[in-house]
Every structure is written in structure tokens, then in C-alpha cells.
Amino acid sequence: MSLSLSILLTIALAPLVGSILAGLFGKVIGRAGAHTATILGVAIACGLSFYVLYQLVWGGAQNFNQDVYTWFEIGRFHASVGFMVDRLTAMMMVVVTFVSLLVHLYTIGYMADDPGYQRFFSYISLFTFSMLMLVMSNNFMQLFFGWEAVGLVSYLLIGFWYKRPTAIFANLKAFLVNRVGDFGFLLGISAILYFLGTLDYQTAFNHAPELVGKTLQITQNHAWDAATVIGVLLFIGAMGKSAQVPLHVWLPDSMEGPTPISALIHAATMVTAGIFMVARMSPLFELTDAALSFILVIGSTTALFTGLIGIVQNDIKRVIAYSTLSQLGYMTVALGVSAYSGAVFHLMTHAFFKALLFLGAGSVIIGMHHEQDMRYMGGLRKYMPVTWITMWIGSLALAGTPFFAGFYSKDAIIEAVGESHRWGAGYAYFCVLAGVFVTSLYSFRLLYMTFHGKERFTVAHGHAHAAHAKHDQPHGHDPHGESHDEDHADTHKEDTHHTPGVLEHAPHESPWVVTVPLVLLAIPSIVIGFLTVGPMLFGDWFGKAIHVNEANNVLGELAHEFHGALAMGLHGFTAAPFWLAFAGFAVATYVYLFNPSVADKAKHALKPVYEVLNHKYWIDELYFAVFAKGGVKLGEGLSKVGDAAIIDGAIVNGSASLVQRIAGGARRLQSGFLFHYAFAMILGLILLLGGYWLIGQ
Amino acid sequence: MSNHLLSLLIWLPVVGAVPVLLAGAGRPGLARWISLLVAVATFAASLALLPAYDAATGTLQLGESLSWIPSLGINYSLAVDGISVALIILTTFVQILVIVGAWEIIQNKPHQYMAAMLVLEGLMIGVFCATDALLFYVFFEAMLIPMFILIGIWGGPRRVYATLKFFIYTFFGSIFMLIGLIYLYHKTGGSFAIADMANVHLTLTEQAWLFFAFLLGFAIKVPMVPVHTWLPDAHVEAPTGGSVVLAAVMLKIGGYGFLRFSLPITPDASHEFAWLVIVLSLIAVCYIGYIALVQQDMKKLVAYSSIAHMGFVTLGIFIAFLLVRDSNNPDAARLGMQGAMVQMISHGFISGAMFTCIGVLYDRMHTRQIKDYGGVINVMPVFAPFYVLFAMANSGLPGTSGFVGEFMVILASFSANPWIALFGAFTLIIGAAYTLWMVKRVLWGDIKNKHVAELKDVNGREIFVLSAFAAGVLVLGIWPEPLVHLMDASVARLVEQLAITKV
């Protein structure tokens, strides 16, 4: 049994067809038509992805690697569009399409009132297509296509509410920061073509060992190791897409987009593309310890220092955004210690519980009538029990509670780092351990501030009471997301410009299209780790898809101590990470549940630390001043000095005025006075004769 | 018929301009329809090149030759290779869109406008077909006249300054080229055939002089830094159609000139001075990128962006010398040169589309200042996706044509020298920055003022033009192989020529 091209083409193209239908014919097919078409497309892709995974794991199907069509062919260089599907790909396909399907379903409820309904469905289906092209690619050209295409959709979706100044600032920022990463990525691809002569994955992997000993001449007497150059350049691409320090600044701002895409794109799938890419390229990365150390340091810095910012955030989505940054850091750390399967495993578990947390946050936002600030929440568990329980599940998974999905993946990463002897592993070990405490602290802080304690909002029972029934429907937009047609915005004016902490109506549980996806994500958030840790992490599940040198194989070392998921879970209770997480839980419980005044006192006592975190280390300000303002200043300077003053001023118009001056001088010679001409003739005669005389001498 | 196909392509639009003029100012409708008919017929004739031209060999084909001025050995001789075929089809394609685009926009003497456009089309096709250097020169210069008229009559308020600057600039460059050609004429013993010129033995010094003569002529056309300052002025003052033709086709003639003259006639000097052209190309990408960033006028911004993108054309052509002669990597040289060629065609679509978009806005608002816009998407929901698409193509997004050429050139230049690739790849950042910042200020946001609020969305005619450009941008971006294949053998022959030294 082998996989057929037509199945894979259907998986990739079904969401694209749905997207085109909803995007170009949205008016014709209407709202229901748009969501039906796109959901159908993604459902087909999802079903077939499960089929592909099943065939590869249990059906005995061979890995698939085939070109679909030639993109260009020049001499021995060749680029094509094609698919490479092995277990790594299949797992990604399932994660992408499954989360995407649930997000599509959720969107029906979340965007119900939004005038851009069809456009939104078109974008998220287009995203699904792009992401599938990225993960299914069998070559670097198509990888780059998918890479940039998801960036495009992310740009469009962050700026979905294009009237908001903050949204259109955030989407430009996201695109440009990603482009900085892509700059490195493209150079990395160029380096691969230069050294290995191909853009095809398999050929490149086959020839990868030839890289050893090759160097790239940087200056006359300085050369860099080829594999390290390739590794670092490719990873710079991953730093952009997977938001690693110092290219992380775009991700928190991307929360300007509607919440469903925060779950789909900025938590579960797109931001993990960098992790997937490095895992896919493991045969190349295994050749360079230096690049892996670089990855390790970047990843661990991200894991700890962005997590810290999460502690001081008050916007519910921003807390989760910083949590995502931190978790992406964990995955990157795993890559850095050659635990590629650990990274991909955490990618998978994280996709489920983080999508759950984001969608849960969206549900809270709906229930709170567009309030996102946790300082005006509290006690919501009474009003929205399903959201409450599922959010608890997600947070427990995130904090690494034994037997939950996140426990297995995160614990394995921490142990792998402890096992590694790579340069930077010591620093990384400290960061990931400290990160556990931080993760737990902000997770439970979020739960307590949102669902527990006193209600910090009041419900104004005013004139709008009559409209209560109507407003019980979920509202389609985030707090400041004015709807696009004008009359619509007017009716919601009170909602969108309310006094903080005063709600029009009591909070309410979200409708089933919102809660069902929460439940469906909560299930894997609990069990997926327990079920798959054995084969995926310690078995040979990925086969040849992931290549690790024997000397670097920290997971292989850990496998000797692995005696099943149950034993690992039980052992978890006695290990350091659990107690660190418990400490975080205890602190959060004391501070945010029992004694809220402590938080304020701590804020004052630790004012400098708080300021640093609250300003996110001033990195945004720095970048804006240096790159945005500095770039414009530089452009203005160059424009004034280079183009205007030197080229046009001195040379072009200068030569024009020079001609004018010479002509002016020449004109003066023709004075019209006879004696001037006569004088000139005599002078000329003298010179001429004098010249002959001189030559004659 | 088929052995006079090239003559037909040149003279059909030129002769077709006569009835357009005869239709007169009194019958603008008739003039428009005739010119559309002529443009469509020329396009159809250019498509006949595809089956007639054998892409497998890449030689000059479909040749015709007549003695023109026998006493001076000047011939009316034409032939095309894959590169010319691609450029001719681009020309005839864009021309239809320009005529449809100007349909009811040009109210002042529309018959003369259309006639000038058709004459210009014929002359540009002539440039791409000529194999006699003097014939090339005649077309090359004659082309300036209709463009001069187009800007001078239908242009903006500073059109006199712009036309003079444009004319003197380009004329200045081509004079040196003419001197070079006359010198070569003597060396060949009385032939203006480009092929004969390529076979003449020249010392490195001779080649160097000729190289700079050609460089001046073609660099101004492309235009390369630092002889680019005529372009923004010309674009700003030109009517939309003039800008579209200027950016989409006329700039390509500079790149084409390098291929036809500098490469085969002065290969050793070109190799010697490749670094100079490469440095200037990289300056175009980076320095011009920053200048584009701070432009307040949309047309100026796109004009500067054109200079930056044309930098990849000259870069792709001249890294071939390093790759063939220094790194002995002819395949990478082909890749780079193909990239340059694809970039020419792609830039034709994208710049044409961008200028059309700006024209659409200008026709409604009578301003091109970015600050006068804001929130256009709210009132022009059909126009907005086109604008975003072309902006993304201008930023080199994969899946659009803007990516293909730059991708190939960057890949190839890394093989020549990683530093070249580094500076070239900077376009990813700066290109996106200036284009998308413009999009942000023009398209996104809330409705800025009451003039924007009153904007009407694009009509059917405009949708047709924009869709045609969009099709070009997308098809080439998704499947460049047919275009690559059309030019591949010709590019390979050029690269082989580069390797052969003449001294």
C-alpha cells in the first residue's frame, strides 16, 4: 500500500478551493455558503490527513516523495513543486488540519456578527493551504513559498480589523520582522544550493555529509564552516517565524487579530513552522555543533525571559501570547540539544493545549462582552463552567502537571537538556528549570484572576435590558473591533466604548460552536502525551525523518530509563520540575486567590523589576527608534544629500547651469561693438603668427 | 507571411496609427476602437511567434534582411531569440492594457494619444528585433519621440522640466553609444551587423572604451544609480499610460542592450568591470530602497522601487561573468541570467500594475500624495485586493512573479560571492518596508477625509486591466518554467559566449 499523489493533492488543494469560493464569491454564496465551503474543504483535508497518518503508521505505507510539476529547470539546477510525506509530515498535517477544523467551527460563533465573515473564512482556509504546502514540501523553494505565504495570511489576519490603528501597525511590524528572518533563511537556502547543488530535500540530505570540511570564504583570510553557516542562516529564518529573541517582538502585537487566528496561527501552527523546519533539516543541523549551541542559547533565553513578561500582563490574550513565546523557546532548546523529536512532540502537545487556552480566552472575551482586561474579571466560573473547566485543563497541561500532555513533552525536554554536554547546556538547563516556575505562576495567575475570587465587574441593568435576549448571542468582535458597516457600529457603541469593569449584561457561557471545540481540544490536552510518549519520544516512531548522530542522542540515553508513560508520570511527582511548578502554583494561589493585596505590595517593593518586565525590556522602543525611525531618517538623509544635492543638484542641473554660464560668457563676447571684433581679430592674428614663428624656431 | 512576421509586428502598430489619427478629435470613439483593434491584432501576431520560434536551439530566428543604405553597409535586418520573443509579447500585452486603461481617461486629443502609443509600440518591438546596430540605434532613439510627446502633452504641471530632463539624459547616453558603434563599424570593415561586431578582435583597452560607451547608453535607460534621477521626474509627470509603458517596457531596453552589445562585443572588459556594475546594482537595491521609503508621492515611490528592482537585472547579468570566468560555474551563471530575464518580464507586469493602480486613484482624487489617502479599502473593496496583490508582488512574495527573478539572482549570486547575495537579499526587508508602509497609509485605516469617503470603486474596464496584470503576476509566479524554457537555450548560448575571451 502506498500513498497516492491524488490524495495528497486533495489534502493541499481542498482548503484552497474553499478559500477561493469564500473569498471571491463570498457575496454570492453568503455567510452560510462561505463557512460551509471552507469547513468542508478543511474537513476533507483533515480526514485524509488522518488517513495518511494511519496508512503510514499502521497500514505499512511507504514514505512518499514525488514532484508534481517543474517550477524551473536551468542547467543542473532544478526547482519543483512536490510532496514529501513521512511520519513527521503526517503528524504535522494532522495537527494543522485538526486545529484548523476546530478553529473554523469556533469562528462561526466568534465572528457571527462581523461584516467580514466571508473574508475571515477565506483567510483561514488560505492559511491552512499555505501551511500544508509548507509542511508537505519536498524542496526548499516550496518550503520558502509556504513560509512566506503563511506570513502573508498572518499579515492579512492581524490587520483583519483594518480600521484599528493598532492592528495595521501590528501587521506591518509582524511582516517586516518576519522578513528579517526570511532574509537569513533565503541566504541559507542559497548556501545549500551553492554547497550541495540542489534544492531538493532528499538529495541535499544524501549529500549532507559532504559539507564536512567545506568552508565559505568570508574575507581573504577568514573562512567559516559550511554547515555552521547553513545552520545559522536557516535558523535565523526560524527565529523570525517562531518568534525567538531578538525577533520575538511581533508575536505579542499579533494579538490585535481576532482570537481564532491567535489560536490557529499564532499558537498552534504557523509559529511552530520554524521548529518543524529545523527538525526536518536535522541531517544538516547534526553536522554543526556551533549552530546547535547558538540555537540552544537563543531558545533558552526566549523560554525564560519572555515567560517573565507574562507574569505582569493584564490582557488575557497577552499572557497567553507570552506563554507561547516561552513554550516556543522550550521547543527551540530541544532542537539545540539534538532532541528533535522532543521538540516536535512538544510542538504537538502545545498545539492542542495552547489552541485550547486561546479559544478559551476568546470564549471569556465573548462572555465578558469584549472585555480582555483580567483586572475587570474574576469569579467567572459560575457563569461559564465549560470554559472554566477546559481552561483549567489547558493550564494544567501547560504547567506540566504529571499525566497531562504538557508534562511528558516538557519534562522530556528538561531532562534532555540536563543530559546534554553541548556548549550552553548549563545555561539552558537553568533557564528551562526556572521557566517551569514562571510558567506555572502566570498560568494559575490567569486562572485565578479570570475565574476565581471576587467579581471585579458590575453589571449595569439599564435601558438595554430589553435587548438582552438578542445580546445573548455571542458578539462577533473583540473589544475595540468596530464592525465595518456603520449602522452596525452604532448599535454597539455602548459595548465598544464602555467604562472599564461595567458590563451591559451579565457574563454568559458561549454557544455550542464555541464550547465544543474547547472540549475537543481538552481531550488531547489530557491524554495525547500519555498515549504517544513511548513511541514518539523514545521509540523509533519518526524513523528516518529525523536524523540524530549517535554521540548527540540524548533522548536515546533517556530511553534507557523510560519504563512506560505511567511510570514516567509517577516519577514526575518526585522530580524537580514538578516541585518548581508546584511552587509557582502555591505562590499564585496565595497571592491571587487568598491575598490579592500582596500582588500590589510586591509590585511596589520590586518596582525596578516590575518596570523592566512591564516595558518588555524596552526592546520595542529600541527597535522602533533604531530601525523604524532611524530607517526613515537615513532615507531622508540619503534622499536629500545623494539624489537631490549631489546627483541632481551638482551633476545634472549643475551641468545644465554650467552650459548656461558658458553660453552666457560666450554671449558677452558677441557684444555688437565693431571695435571689440576688430580687437579680437588682431589678437587672433598675433597669436596665429606668433604660433607659426614659435614652431619655426 | 511567417518570414515577414517581425516586420509585420513592427509596422502593424505604426501603420495602424494612421487611421487612428485620421479618425480625428471629432470621433474619439472610433479612434479608440481602431487603436484597440490594432493593439489586439499586434498581440495576436506576437503570439504567433511562439509556435514559429524554435526554443530548443536558442539561435536568432525568423530573420529578414534588406539592404537599407548600401553605401554605408546598413541593413534593415531583423531576427529574434527567446529573450526577444518574451520581451515582444510583454510589449504587445501591456500595450492592450494601456489602451484600455486610457479609454475614457484621456479626453484631450485621444486620437493623438492613442496614435503615439501605437507608434511607440512598433518602435519598441523594432528595438527587440533589430540585429543591425544602426537599425537598433534608430529605433532606440526614435522611441524617445513618442514618449517625449506623451509626457509633454498629456503630462503633469512640471512636464516641460521632466521631458527635457528625460530627453537630454537619454540622448546624452546614446551619443556615446553611437560613437562606439561607429568605431566598431570601422573595425569590422564596414558592417553594422551586431554579429560581425561580436566577431571582431579587440584589445582590452578598446573594449574598455566601448564598454563604458555602452554602459552610459544603457545604464541611463535601465536606469542604474547614479544616472537614475530622470526616472522619478518622468514618472511623476507622465500620464498613467506613459508611466506604464515606460516602466513595463522601456526600462527593459536598457537591460536588453547589455545583453546584445556589452556581453558579446566587450566580454573581457565586461568581466573586468563587472564589479563596478555589481556594486552599482547593489547600491540600487539598498540605497534606492531607503530613498523609496521616504517618498511622499506614490508615483515617485514606485519609480524608485523600479530602480531598485531593475538592480536585479543588471546584477543577474553581470554576476554571470564572475560565475563563468572566476568560479567556473556556468550553470549558476545561467541561473543568474535567467533570473535577470525573468525579473525583466515580471517587473513589466508589476510596475505596469502598480502604476495602473496609482492611476486609478489619481483619476478619482487628483492627487498622488500618500498623506491625502487613508482607509481606501473601506470604499473600494474590489480595488483593494488588487492593490495588495501587486504590493505583495512588488515585495517579492513567493507565488507572485516578483519572487521568481529575485530568487534566482540571489541564489546565483551567493555562488559568486556571499556578500553580493547578502546585500541583494536586503530587498526582502527594505522592499517590503517601503511597499507595505505605503499600503498601510493608503489602503488600511479608517476613512481619512471626505474625498476618500466619496471614492467610487473600480469599474468594469479597470477591473479588466487589473485582472490581466494580476493573471500575469500570478501565472508567472506559480509556474515560471514555460517562460524559463522559452529563454533557456538563448541564455545558455549567451553564457557560452561570455566564457570566450577576445584578446
Q: Name the minimum distance, in Å, from the CA of B16 to any CA of chain A.
A: 38
Residue A415 grid coordinates: 531532562
The Cα–Cα gap between A663 and B490 comes to: 49
Residue A322 grid coordinates: 507570552
Please count the residue pairs, one from chain A and one from chain B, whose beta carbons lie less than 8 angstroms apart. Answer: 150
| Ranges of residues in chain A whose predicted pLDDT is under 50 | 463-497
The Cα–Cα gap between A280 and A292 comes to: 14
Q: Which of residues 470-529 of A touch B (CB under 8 A)?
A: 484
The Cα–Cα gap between B316 and B278 comes to: 9
User: For chain A, what's the residue count?
Assistant: 697
The H or E element spanning position B80 is strand B74-80
For residue A467, the SS3 value is helix
Interface test with B, best of A147, A163, A194 (most B CBs within 10 A): A194
Residue A131 grid coordinates: 501551511
A590 contacts chain B (CB < 8 A): no
**pLDDT at site A280:** 94
B375 contacts chain A (CB < 8 A): yes
- For residue B378, the one-letter residue type is N
The H or E element spanning position B61 is strand B61-69
Helix axes A117-136, A273-280, angle to 10 degrees: 10
The Cα–Cα gap between B21 and A334 comes to: 73
Q: Do A74 and B488 touch (CB under 8 A)?
A: yes
Count other C-beta atoms under 10 Å from residue B261's C-beta.
27
Q: Which of residues 168-187 of A touch B (CB under 8 A)?
A: 168-169, 172, 175-176, 179-180, 182-183, 186-187
Q: What's the sign of the alpha-carbon dihedral A625, A631, A636, A640?
A: positive
A626 contacts chain B (CB < 8 A): no
The Cα–Cα gap between A611 and A623 comes to: 18
**pLDDT at site B468:** 96
CA angle B167, B314, B77 (to 5 degrees): 65
B390 contacts chain A (CB < 8 A): no
**pLDDT at site A499:** 74
The Cα–Cα gap between A266 and A328 comes to: 11
The Cα–Cα gap between B320 and B313 comes to: 11
Residue A547 grid coordinates: 536524523
Residue A429 grid coordinates: 538547563
Residues 6 or more apart whose Cβ sits within 8 Å of residue B385 = none
Contact A478, A365 (CB under 8 A): yes
Query: Looking at the partner chain, which of A162, A186, A193 has a beta carbon nearest the beta carbon of B425?
Result: A186
Query: Looking at the partner chain, which of B334, B398, B479 has a beta carbon nearest the beta carbon of A74?
Result: B334
Contact A407, A571 (CB under 8 A): no
**pLDDT at site A493:** 36
Query: What is the domain partition of chain B in residue ranges?
Result: 2-499
pLDDT one digit per residue (tens) for chain B, 503 residues:
457 899 999 999 999 999 999 888 788 889 999 999 999 999 999 999 999 999 999 899 998 888 888 888 888 999 999 999 999 999 999 999 999 999 888 888 889 999 999 999 999 999 999 999 999 999 999 998 899 889 988 988 888 888 888 888 888 888 899 999 999 999 988 889 999 999 898 999 999 999 999 999 999 998 998 888 889 989 999 999 999 999 999 999 999 999 999 999 999 999 999 999 999 999 999 999 999 999 999 999 999 999 999 999 999 999 999 999 888 899 999 999 999 999 999 999 999 999 999 999 999 999 999 999 999 999 999 999 999 999 999 999 999 999 999 999 999 999 999 999 999 999 999 999 999 999 999 999 999 889 999 999 999 999 999 999 999 999 999 999 999 999 999 999 999 988 888 87
CA distances from A115 to A35, A111, A119, A122, A476 (A): 14, 9, 9, 13, 9
The Cα–Cα gap between A440 and A576 comes to: 13
User: Which chain A residue lies closest to B445 (C-alpha atoms)?
Assistant: A163
User: Which chain A residue lies closest to B330 (C-alpha atoms)?
Assistant: A75
Structure confidence by residue, pLDDT tens digits, B213-225: 999 999 999 899 8
**pLDDT at site B1:** 44
Structure pTM? 0.91
Q: Name the minimum distance, in Å, from the CA of B7 to any CA of chain A.
A: 32
The Cα–Cα gap between A585 and A603 comes to: 19
Q: Which long-range contacts (CB under 8 A, 24 or more apart) does A649-658 make?
A: A651/B226, A652/B165, A652/B169, A652/B229, A652/B230
User: Which chain A residue lies closest to B337 (C-alpha atoms)?
Assistant: A74
Contact B287, B362 (CB under 8 A): no
Query: Please, how many CA atoms are within 13 Å of residue A558, restricted to the half-sphere of its CB?
Result: 28
Q: Do A631 and B290 touch (CB under 8 A)?
A: yes
Residue A217 grid coordinates: 570564504
Query: Looking at the partner chain, which of B165, B432, B444 has a beta carbon nearest the beta carbon of A159?
Result: B444
Residue among B133, B245, B139, B145 nearest B179 (CA): B133
Q: Do A484 and B331 touch (CB under 8 A)?
A: no
Q: Do B399 and A194 touch (CB under 8 A)?
A: no
Give the 3-state secondary structure of A191-227: HHHHHHCCCEHHHHHHHHHHHCCCEEEEECCEEEEHH
User: For chain B, what's the residue count?
Assistant: 503
Q: Which positions in chain B touch A168 (Cβ < 8 Å)? A: 440, 444-445
Bridging pattern class, strands A458-459 and A502-503: parallel
Q: Which positions in chain B touch A141 (Cβ < 8 Å)? A: 398, 407
A9 contacts chain B (CB < 8 A): no
Q: Which positions in chain A touch B293 (Cβ < 8 Å)? A: 631-632, 635
- For residue B462, the one-letter residue type is E
Q: Left if phi > 0, otherwise alpha if psi is -120 to 50, otherwise beta: which for A243?
A: left
CA distances from B63 to A76, B52, B60, B170, B497 (A): 31, 12, 7, 29, 21
Q: Which positions in chain B touch A635 (Cβ < 8 Å)? A: 290-294
The Cα–Cα gap between A130 and A137 comes to: 11
Interface test with B, best of A133, A186, A214 (most B CBs within 10 A): A186
Residue A118 grid coordinates: 466571508
Q: Which of residues 45-64 of A touch B (CB under 8 A)?
A: none
Q: Which positions in chain B touch A119 (Cβ < 8 Å)? A: none
Query: Looking at the partner chain, which of A75, A183, A652 has a beta carbon nearest the beta carbon of B334?
Result: A75
Q: Which positions in chain A touch B229 (Cβ < 8 Å)? A: 643, 647-648, 652
Contact B347, B310 (CB under 8 A): yes
